[in-house]
Amino acid sequence: MQDSDVEDSTFQLVIDQLEELVVTVIEEVRERPAIVLAVVAGVIGAMIGSRLAARGKRPPTAVRAARGTARRAGAAAELAGIGLRLLQNPLVRALFIAVVERQLKRRLP
């Protein structure tokens, strides 16, 4: 029973504080409308500036294409390195040679 009274009083206190904040903001807007216009102009300027900054961060198309090619070449080099390490294993090397021989026998008469 006592917990619900505490929760109700806390909720009422929060509502009262919010109401007081709204009244204070409305009074300040009535007294100084230029401040509201300045805040709105600042918010709009920040939004436009962030859009322009985000648009300027993209690299040119040629640079993006070169980066993609470099990444693919790097991945191919990494895969080739793994393949060479696998060929160091005698079992893998024997299987690879057997597969290559079988393919050559099929293609050559």
CB atoms near residue 45 (< 10 Å):
10
Helix axes 2-31, 33-56, angle to 10 degrees: 100
CB atoms near residue 89 (< 10 Å):
11
**What is this structure's pTM?**
0.35
d(CA 7, CA 12): 9
pLDDT tens digits, 24-76:
888 888 888 887 788 888 889 888 988 888 776 666 677 777 888 888 888 88
**The dihedral of CA 88, 91, 94, 95: what is its sign?**
negative
- Percentage of the chain beyond pLDDT 90 is 6
